[in-house]
Structures are given as structure tokens and as C-alpha cells.
């Protein structure tokens, strides 16, 4: 097996399948840090380890088996060199000296430049319909964020969080229906496509809610009647990309709790490691 250098993910395929060596837990660079060197012929990803939007592009890179250098960024203390060359958000893909921001834009770019395996449908109509699904499910963040994140200048009560969760479950009925109508394990059929990976990070956070919410956690469990959704979640958990990069429900809940209490990116990762 080949192990990548620091901050690099390398894919090695053997007869047993794909083996991943990942280095996601490097400290987040902040103000005063030096800009990492970049090979113009290789992908560099500006990331934040538990940002759901950055996770989209990390999953795309892993699903397509593209070697890349990972650079974690402290979004509370952004380095000057990061602000000078980007929109101040992650993810950013750096390739051939150019900076490509935004998860969907960056992921589409990667899918076009590195065509195999193809994640977006070749049929423009199907790609458009998949993008509609992504947009519908992305609207969940309006209800999901107030449950798991620390809101500025106010405390969200458990009663408010429960109302947000009920709203979220109502939104998920449309995804349940979409999965039922497609009749396949993934949105892309027998294997995941771009739409699956773009939506997945939200569900890692949803799965962590029962643990995060402690004594009232049983009120934040996805209903059993969303059977196609539960099957899809199980299928996504089995993919190589999610197994390589994703968080377990316990770790997602633990690092979220620590981060909400301390505001420390690397503290949250370190204290929740191994979960």
C-alpha cells in the first residue's frame, strides 16, 4: 500500500478492493500561517473538516479516486493568503493555479475534468432533475442548522428545536417519495451519483441528533415509515467515499457538542477521535 504525504489522500486498489489512507485531522490553518505549497498539476482542497458543504467536494474527490492535497482552514481566523485568493468560504478546489469555489461548482468541475467514473448523468434532463432534488433537500438546512448549531446571540429552546425537527421530517417526505419512485438503492440506480453525494452530509448530522439532544434525543429519531430513506442511508454508509471521510452518529454528535461549547475546531476533532 502507498501512504500519502502529510495532508494527502491516496487511493490504492488491490484485489481486495479500494484501500484508503486519509489525513483529514491536520490542524486548521489560521491567521499568521504560511500558505501551503501547491502542485499546479494536482488538486488541492481548501477544507474545513466538519463543514457539510466542504464534505460534498471531498466525497466527490474520493468517489472519483482523485489524489489530492487537503488543507484545513480555520473559518473563524482565516489566513490572509486564503482571504486574498478566495471568497472566504470552503470548499475551494485549486487546480492549475486557479481557484474554484462553491461545492456544486467545484464538484461539477472535477466531474468534467476527471471523467471516470462519471457522477453526473450524461442526459441533460436527468442532470437537471437531479439538481432539483439537491435543491429541495438543501432547504433542510433552514431547519437542521438551528438544532445542531450554536446560534449567535440567542438560545434555541428544545421546544423550538423539536418544531424544527418536525418541519424537517415533513420536508423529508418528498425525498422518501423520490426514492420510492426511482426504486433503486441510490438516486443514480445501483451506484451513487453526484446527487447522492451532494445530499449525504445533511444526513450525517441528522443521524447524530438523537445523541446530541441527550435526554430528549428519542424525539429526534427519523420515523420508521421513511423506509426508503432508511435504506438509502444504510446504502450510503456502505460506500467507500463515506466510509473514508464520513462521521459516525456518535462522533458527529460529540464533536458538535464540543465545538458548540468551546469554538475549537481542532479540540472538537481531537476529543471525538476514535468514535
- How does DSSP classify residue 189? B
From the candidates 51, 58, 241, 258, which is the catalytic residue? 51
> Nearest Cα to 123, choosing from 176, 194, 190?
194
CA–CA separation, 177 and 163 (whole Å): 22
3 state DSSP class of 82? helix
- How does DSSP classify residue 41? T
Q: What is 125-155 written as a DSSP string?
A: HHHHHHHHHHHHHHTTHHHHHHHHS--TTS-
Whether 77 and 127 have beta carbons less than 8 Å apart is answered as no
38 among known catalytic residues:
no
Q: What cell numbers appear for 93 in the block?
A: 478546489
Q: What cell numbers appear for 192 in the block?
A: 451513487
In the sheet that holds 68-72, the strands lie side by side as 17-21, 8-14, 68-72, 43-47, 92-95, 98-101
Alpha-helical runs (H) found in 86-226: 103-113, 124-138, 141-148, 158-182, 194-212
CA–CA separation, 65 and 171 (whole Å): 33
Residue with cell 442532470: 127
Q: Is 240 left (phi over 0), alpha (psi -120 to 50) or beta?
A: alpha
Give the active site residues.
51
Amino acid at each position: 500500500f502507498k501512504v500519502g504525504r502529510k495532508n494527502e489522500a491516496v487511493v490504492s486498489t488491490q484485489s481486495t478492493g479500494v484501500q484508503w489512507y486519509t489525513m483529514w485531522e491536520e490542524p486548521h490553518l489560521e491567521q499568521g500561517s504560511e500558505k501551503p505549497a501547491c502542485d499546479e498539476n494536482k488538486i488541492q482542497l481548501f477544507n474545513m473538516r466538519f463543514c457539510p458543504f466542504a464534505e460534498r467536494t471531498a466525497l466527490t474527490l474520493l468517489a472519483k479516486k482523485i489524489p489530492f492535497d487537503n488543507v484545513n482552514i480555520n473559518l473563524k481566523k482565516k489566513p490572509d493568503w486564503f482571504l486574498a485568493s478566495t471568497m472566504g468560504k470552503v470548499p475551494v478546489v485549486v487546480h492549475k493555479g486557479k481557484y474554484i469555489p462553491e461545492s456544486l461548482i467545484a464538484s461539477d468541475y472535477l466531474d468534467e475534468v476527471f471523467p471516470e467514473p462519471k457522477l453526473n448523468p450524461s442526459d441533460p434532463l436527468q442532470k437537471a432533475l437531479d439538481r432539483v432534488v439537491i435543491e429541495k433537500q438543501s432547504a433542510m438546512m433552514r431547519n437542521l442548522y438551528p438544532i445542531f448549531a450554536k446560534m449567535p446571540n440567542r438560545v434555541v429552546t428544545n421546544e423550538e428545536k423539536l418544531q424544527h425537527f418536525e418541519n424537517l421530517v415533513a420536508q423529508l417526505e418528498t425525498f422518501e417519495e423520490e426514492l420510492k419512485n426511482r426504486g433503486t438503492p441510490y438516486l443514480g440506480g445501483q451506484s451513487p451519483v453526484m446527487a447522492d453525494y451532494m445530499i449525504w452530509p445533511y444526513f450525517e448530522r441528522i443521524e447524530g441528533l438523537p445523541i446530541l439532544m441527550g435526554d430528549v434525543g428519542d424525539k429526534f429519531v427519523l420515523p420508521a415509515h421513511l423506509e426508503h430513506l432508511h435504506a438509502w442511508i444504510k446504502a450510503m454508509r456502505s460506500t467507500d467515499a463515506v466510509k473514508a471521510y464520513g462521521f459516525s452518529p456518535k462522533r458527529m454528535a460529540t464533536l458538535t457538542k464540543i465545538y458548540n461549547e468551546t469554538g475549537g475546531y481542532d479540540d472538537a476533532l481531537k476529543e471525538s477521535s476514535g468514535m
